Structure formats: structure tokens, C-alpha cells
Amino acid sequence: MFRKVHIYLTALCAGITTAILIVMSLLYLYLSEKELYENQFRSFQNDINTIATSLEQQSVISMEWLSKMEAHGGYTFYALDNGIPFLYNRLTNLSESSEIRSLLDECLEVYESDYEIGFREETGADSYNTCHHVEFPFNPSGKKHEFHISVIELQRGTSSLQILVLSPLDFLREQITRQRMRFLLIDIAAILLLSLFSFFFTGKLLQPVIESRRKQTEFVAAASHELRTPLAVILSAAECCRDADTEKQSRFLDTIRQEGDILTSLVNDMLTLSASDSQRFTCRPAPVELDTLLINTYEAFEPIAAEKELSLSITLPEESLPLCTADADRIVQLLSILLHNAVSYTPEGGHIGLALSHKKNRFYLTVSDTGIGIPPDDRKKIFDRFYRAEKSRGTKGHFGLGLSIAAEIVRLHHGTISVADRPGGGSVFTVIL
Ligand code: ADP
């Protein structure tokens, strides 16, 4: 299932970033190409201005000057003197090539229909030596080539000279194609990298979800396993009750009652952890006298410890302590879990110590015992749900949930909990608040 989600998220992430990349690239290309065209057109207009001024000043237009101008700007000139091709064109055979001839005709047609300035009519026959020119882009039909065209109209007395200047845009087109290819390659490389990044990124994003799902599955499996044993005992005791005499019946009923209590405590622990998972496990901090809280817990556990022939001691600081901001009920719950474990995992005749100290604005709560101890490898794992160290697996009524709840309570108080070996055997749990 997660594989599918991973692939879907990768595709979604890569798709969105790719779409953004492509839109941005196209936008950039559009703006940059537009600017290239405009710059080219502006520089063409500037050249034509210079050429027109120079033409105006020349009394005779020399072939040498025309060929120099053509070579300088990469332009092609086509001049008509009173409608007759200029000698220069005849010499360069320009008007002889049918392809160029039709191009020039088409160009003149466009000029006459869209751009002609009406020069002759406006100025009249009186004006002598006047010049007008117009520039426009030209895309001949059926051809890939594009041009910038200028038509210069020069009136000298009764003679009129029309000069067509063609500036092919092949170089600009090549430049644009090169730029597009560069962008295409960069975009392909970026899309590949983005897809790779999306794959790892979404994988990392999914990791906590996968982990939480794994823990949930493990939790359900472990919970079902733990529920099965007391349920099986209850069912078989109930079955035996049917044919048993009154004395045996009462023993079976006691067993059912005990297992029922165990089940209740297990279900309560599971509900507590489920509340913590869904953020419903709250804590209501208030100023608390921790020493009083410890004394009360000590007194509550004294008979339990005595029943198992364990000695229980309490150590409190001499000086009076400041109030601690904590949830009193949760702290009692935490101490009860630690003391309950200490009683369970300490053999008869052992000792359990409860202590409180205050250093550098921190409260240190410790529960130590002279019990079976916890192997170093297990010390991190014992705070995991349903984890139980090998040595304590047989202990009845223990499901490996107590320390998980203790860790949650400490987390709610922004404190820390740790476990260490007690010198001389046993363990010491330290809670810092
Ligand atoms: P449990 O209900 O099994 O005690 P906990 O979460 O409270 O569950 O503890 C997890 C495991 O940590 C226990 O099963 C036990 O192996 C180990 N443990 C906890 N407290 C002690 C202790 N005081 N001495 C030795 N082992 C302990």
C-alpha cells in the first residue's frame, strides 16, 4: 500500500514541480525572444535612419556606397528609379532571380497595402529632395525565412527613387533555436533531478507514517496476544465451574475475578496510551509540594512492600523545597508505576528506595531497588509498548505498558526519565522535572 502511495506522491510532486518549471521556462523564452526581436528591429531602424540621411545628402547614389552598406549590415538593397530597377540591381543580377523577384514583389505588395505613407500625394510636385522611410517585419508566404524590411522613398524633383532594404533574420532565428535547445536540455536534466528528489523527499515524508503504522500493527498484535491469555483462563475456569462442587466453584470464581482484574488493568493501560496517541492524554499543571506527594505515595506502598517482605525507605531534602508546577495525579501515577515495578521485580527481603532532591531549579525523583536489574541492551527498549525484558517475562499481570505510560507522563511535563544500574545490584529510575 505504501509503495503505491509513494509512487503516487512522487508523481504528484514531480508533476507539479515540472509543470512550474516548464511554465517558467516558456515565459522566460517568450520574454527573451520578444526582447531579441525588438532589439534587432530597433537596431535595424537606427541603421535605416543613418542610411536615409546619407541618401538624402547624396546627389548621386554610387554603386560603391550601396555595396558598402549591404556588406556592413548584411542587408540587401533593391532600388527602383521611377519604377525601373536601378542599374546596381541589374549588375548584381538581383532582379533576374525569379525567387528574389517574387519575394520583392510580395514585399512591395505588403508595403503598398499596409504601410505606404502616401508620400507622393502629400508632398506634391513642388517639394524637392524629400525622403520618407518605413520599417516592418515581413514573413513571406510559404517560406521559413523572416525579414525586417524598410522601404525608403526619395523624391528628387520629378524623379522618385524607391529603395527596399531587406534584413534577413536567419542569424536571429539560429540564436533563438540554440537558446531553446539549451533550455530543453536544462529542463530535461532538472526534471530528472526533481523526480529523483521527489522520490527521496516523499520517501522521507512517508517514513513517520510507515513507522506509526508499523507500531500500530505491532501494538494490535501484542494487545491481542496479551488479552488472549487471561481470556482463555476465564473461559476455561467458567467451563470447569459447570461440573465442579461448591468449594471448587468458589476457587474458579476467584480465578475469574483475578483474571478479570488483570484484563481491566490491561484495557485501562491501553486506553491511556491510545488517549496519549490522540493527544487526549492531558496534564493540568499546578503548583505542587512534591515532598508531600512522595510521602503520600510512600505510605500507600508501604503495606504492598511489606506483604512481599520488602523494606521501603524515603529520602527527602532537609531544607524546604520550592513548589513544582506539575499535575499531582499524573506524578502519583508515574511514581506508582515505578514503585509497582520495583516491588514486582525485587525478590523477598530486598529494599526499595524512594528519594527526592532539588538541584539547579530541577527536581530529581528516584526509585531504586535491589531487584533483578535490567540488562544494558534492554534499557532503551523497556520504554517501548509491550516490551518486557527476558528475565521478567513470567511475572503475572505485567504487559510491558507501565513504562510507556510513565514516559508519556514525563513527556507531558517536559522532563526526562532514565534508568541505570544500582551499585550492588538492582536498578535506579530517575525522573528529572
Ligand atoms: P511491565 O508491566 O511488564 O512491568 P513496564 O513497561 O513497566 O511493563 O516495564 C517494562 C519492562 O521493564 C518489564 O517487563 C521489565 O522487564 C523491565 N523493568 C521495569 N522495571 C523494572 C525494575 N524495577 N527492575 C527490573 N526490570 C524492570
Per residue in 203-231, pLDDT tens?
999 999 998 888 888 888 888 888 888 89
Which residue has its alpha carbon closest to ligand 1 atom 2?
A: 398
Residue 414, pLDDT score: 93
425: containing domain: 286-432
Q: Which atom of ligand 1 is nearest to the CA of 373?
A: 25
CA 188 to ligand 1 centroid distance, Å: 57
Query: Is it the case that residue 319 has pLDDT exceeding 80?
Result: yes
Round to whole Å and give the CA distance between 427 and 333.
Answer: 19
- Provide the pLDDT confidence category of residue 244 given band limits of 50, 70 and 90: confident
Q: Model confidence over 20-64: pLDDT tens digits?
A: 999 999 999 999 999 999 999 999 999 999 888 888 888 777 778
Task: Judge if 160 and 297 occupy the same domain.
Answer: no
Q: Which atom of ligand 1 is nearest to the CA of 337?
A: 7
Within a domain: 362? yes
Among 168, 188, 210, identify where a domain stops: 168
Within a domain: 48? no
Query: In the numeric block, which cell numbers belong to residue 241?
Result: 465451574
Within a domain: 35? no
Q: Which residue did the predictor score with more confidence, 406 or 120?
A: 406
Query: In the numeric block, which cell numbers belong to residue 314?
Result: 524515603
Query: Is it the case that residue 96 has pLDDT exceeding 60?
Result: no
Q: Are 69 and 53 in contact (CB under 8 A)?
A: no
Q: Does residue 266's CB lie within 6 angstroms of at least one atom of ligand 1? A: no
Within a domain: 157? yes
Q: Which residue did the predictor score with more confidence, 95 or 247?
A: 247
Q: Does residue 76's CB lie within 6 angstroms of at least one atom of ligand 1? A: no
Among 112, 134, 168, identify where a domain stops: 168
Task: Judge if 291 and 162 occupy the same domain.
Answer: no
Query: Is it the case that residue 328 has pLDDT exceeding 70?
Result: yes
Within a domain: 350? yes
Round to whole Å and give the CA distance between 429 and 316.
Answer: 16
Which residue has its alpha carbon closest to ligand 1 atom 3?
A: 400
Lowest mean pLDDT among 42-56, 120-134, 182-196: 120-134
Which residue has its alpha carbon closest to ligand 1 atom 16?
A: 389
Whichever domain contains 425, its CATH number is 3.30.565.10
* 159-168 β-sheet, strand order: 84-85, 76-81, 159-168, 147-156, 130-138
Which residue has its alpha carbon closest to ligand 1 atom 23?
A: 342
Lowest mean pLDDT among 11-25, 29-43, 146-160: 146-160
- Using alpha carbons, list the distances in angstroms from residue 205 to 2, 193, 210: 12, 18, 9
Cell 481470556 found at: 231
Query: Is it the case that residue 124 has pLDDT exceeding 60?
Result: no
Residue 125, pLDDT score: 46
- Provide the pLDDT confidence category of residue 399 given band limits of 50, 70 and 90: confident
Q: Does residue 382's CB lie within 6 angstroms of at least one atom of ligand 1? A: yes
Residue 419, pLDDT score: 95
Q: What is the DSSP letter of 323?
A: P
Domain count of the fold of the chain? 2
Q: Are 328 and 288 in contact (CB under 8 A)?
A: yes
Within a domain: 68? yes
Q: Are 264 and 290 in contact (CB under 8 A)?
A: no
Among 168, 188, 203, identify where a domain stops: 168
CA 389 to ligand 1 centroid distance, Å: 7
Within a domain: 216? no
Q: Which residue did the predictor score with more confidence, 93 or 9?
A: 9
- Give the number of other CB atoms < 10 A from CB of residue 363: 21
Residue 107, pLDDT score: 84
Within a domain: 334? yes
Q: Quick one: average pLDDT of 283-289? A: 90
